[in-house]
Structures are given as structure tokens and as C-alpha cells.
Amino acid sequence: MRYLGLRFLQSCLLLMGVSVLSFLFVEAAPGNFLDEVRLNPQISSQTLARLREQYGMDQPLAARYVHWLHSVARGELGFSFAYNSPVAPLLLSRARITLLLTGSAMLISWLIALPWGIVTAEKRTGWFDSGSSFVTALLLATPDVTLALGLLLFAIRTNRLPAGGMMSLAAENQSQWLQIKDIAIHLLGPLLVLVLVSLPTLVRHIRAAMIDALESPCVRAARAHGIARSRILLRHALPMASNPLISLFGLYLGSLLSASLLVEVVMSWPGLGPFLLEAILARDVYVIIGTVMFASLFLVGGMLLGDVFLFIADPRIRTERLA
């Protein structure tokens, strides 16, 4: 457990460092929330001064950071200037929508990529592997925004998919089952883009890990003993290839969330992506910092979860720490 405790401490320190850097970068950015308010001739300079004092903009950066830490301890994550509300409820309501998208994309991507990578590793000299390499290379070379815009254009031209949003207006007064069905239909577009974005990297990593496992001496010995090919793949090669794939899991979560923010903006999925864009345009400092911290927590949590899985799956880590 000392290994996991050390990883948890490193994760906490990493999040602390991200919060400090977020404050520094936001402070270095030009302008603030009151710049647009200052353009209104009906608002006096005395009112602007009171607003600066109310929002704490007249305090030094260190004092604002300490005040933000106190709000984090209270579960507020700061105060949104634009919404006149604590950040945490605003963030959580949109984070659930983003997690619905990213969680579905992660599940489907791994369910497709795992057998795909195993088959291409087993048939790495055949036509299937050549075609797979071409498809994954094509998807890797295509920018995420191009895939999102292409699918959005397809939805608009054909009316086969919703062009944006999470639920149609007509579904609000329908039964719960029809509402779930309507959400699933709206989810299909951004979900397809995220799966296409993440599949090439996953397939190539799984293929490389499986090839290394299939060429190991123990797997060759199993083949020499006449063990069935399916048993060799699933009972011998796949457990040997699990370590790099478990390590990939945490990084994959962070990259998937980053891609989902862009896809949400392009395809009007009401998650954290549009919320963050609105906060940046409005210079809503604590909403920006809260969203960045959530993304960092998502990445760090994924990496920590990967370390837990690795600790459980690999006895060498446990014996090494005990020794």
C-alpha cells in the first residue's frame, strides 16, 4: 500500500501545481471580466470600484489564490462573475454531460480496439493488417475538428442525425424512455467522432504490445507444445501485454477529455466545452480555473486508477515494494 500512497501523494501535489500555474496564466492574460462592463457609459467608476472590491479583483494574486483554496474546501471552486453563482454547481451539471459522452466513447473504443489490435497482431503479415494500418494512419492524419465538421455537415445535409444539442424540444413532454432514446440519438454524432479520434492510437498500442508478447520466449514455448492459438492469445499473450495497456489507460482518459471539449464546441453538445469557451470569452476567471482543474483531476484520476490496476495485475510491483 505504500506504493499506492506515494502515487496518491504525487497526484495531490500535481493538482496543486496545476492550480498555481492556472492562476498565473489567467493573471498573465490581458483583460478581465469588468472590461466589457466598463464600456457601458451608464456604469460609474464608483460602481466599478465596488464591483472590483466585491469580486476581490483589488487583492494581490496570492490573496486571491488563498481565498480560492478556502472556497475549494467549502466545495464551491470559486465564484462565477457571469452567472453570479458558485462554480461547483455550474461545473457539475455540465461535467455529467461530458462524462456521459467520454465514458461512452471510452467503453466503445476499447471494445472495438482490443479485438482489432489482437487480430492485427496475430495476422501482422496479411492483408488485414495492411488495410488496418492504412485506416489507422488515415484517421491519425485527419484533424479532430475536420472529423467533427464533416459529420456535422453530413447531419445537416441528410437529416439522419441531429445537428446539435442534447435533446429535442418535442421530447421534453414525452415519457422517460423516449427521452433516453432522444438523448442517445443526439449523443450518436459526437460519440462517433470521439471513437474515430481515439481508435487509431489504441489499436496501434494494443497491436505493438501484443506483438511483443507473441514474440516472447514463453509464448513461443507454448506454441511448441501445441497449445491452441486462441488459448495462447487470451491466456498467455494478452496478460503479458496488459501492463503497457494499463499504463496507457490514464493518458487515454486525459487525451479523450481534451478531444471531447473541442468536439462539444463544434457539435453543440452542452458539456464542458461550450461552457469553457463562454467563460474564456467572458473572462470568467474562476470558471476557467475550475474547468482546467476538473480536466486535470480527470487525467490524474485516470493515471491513479491505472496505477491501482497495475498494482493488482502485476505481482512484480508488489514484491518489489515489499523487498
Question: Exposed, middle or buried by CB within 10 Å (0-12, 13-18, 19+), for 104?
Answer: middle
* pLDDT surpasses 60 at 320: no
Q: Return the percent helix, strand and coil in the chain, to nearest 5.
A: 80, 0, 20
Residues 1-41: tens digit of each pLDDT: 676 778 788 888 888 888 888 888 887 777 777 766 676 67
Span 50-75, pLDDT tens digits: 777 777 777 788 888 888 888 888 88
Which range among 82-86, 93-97, 251-255, 298-302 has the greatest average pLDDT?
93-97
Q: Taking residues 118-147, report their average pLDDT.
A: 83
| Domain ranges (residues) in the chain | 97-285
Produce one character per residue of 106-141: b if its CB has 16 or more CB atoms within 10 Å, e if not. bebbbeebbebbbbbbbebeeeebeebbeebeebee
Report the Cα 51 to chain-centroid distance in Å: 35
> Can you give the length of the chain in residues?
323
Residue 194 has pLDDT above 70, yes or no: yes
Please check whether the domain covering 97-285 is classified as CATH 1.10.3720.10.
yes
Confidence (pLDDT) at 322: 47
* CA dihedral of 256, 259, 265, 270, whole degrees rounded to 10: 0
CA separation, residue 46 to residues 34, 35, 37, 38, 53 (Å): 13, 15, 13, 11, 11
pLDDT of the residue at 323: 47
319 pLDDT tier (thresholds 50, 70, 90)? low
Task: Give pLDDT, residue 317.
Answer: 65
Crossing angle for the helix pair 285-313 and 87-122, nearest 10 degrees? 40
SS3 62: helix
Give me Rg for the CA atoms of the chain: 24
What's residue 280's pLDDT?
85
Q: Residue 39: count other Cβ atoms within 10 Å of its Cβ.
A: 8
How many other CB atoms are there within 10 angstroms of residue 266's CB atom?
Answer: 21
Burial of 243 (0-12, 13-18, 19+ CB in 10 A): middle
* Helix, strand or coil, per DSSP, at residue 152: helix
Mean pLDDT computed over 200-204: 88
Quick one: how far is CA 176 from the chain centroid? 28
List CB contacts of 116: < 8 A, sequence separation 6 or more: 132, 199, 203, 206
- pTM, whole model, 2 decimals? 0.81
Name, in order, each residue with C-beta under 8 angstroms of 153's C-beta and a sequence gap of 6 or more.
none
Mean pLDDT of all residues in the chain? 81
Burial of 177 (0-12, 13-18, 19+ CB in 10 A): exposed
The model's pLDDT over 30-51, given as tens digits with 9 standing for 90+, comes to 777 776 667 667 677 777 777 7
pLDDT digits (tens, 9 = 90+) for 82-132: 888 888 888 888 889 888 888 899 899 889 988 888 888 887 777 887 888
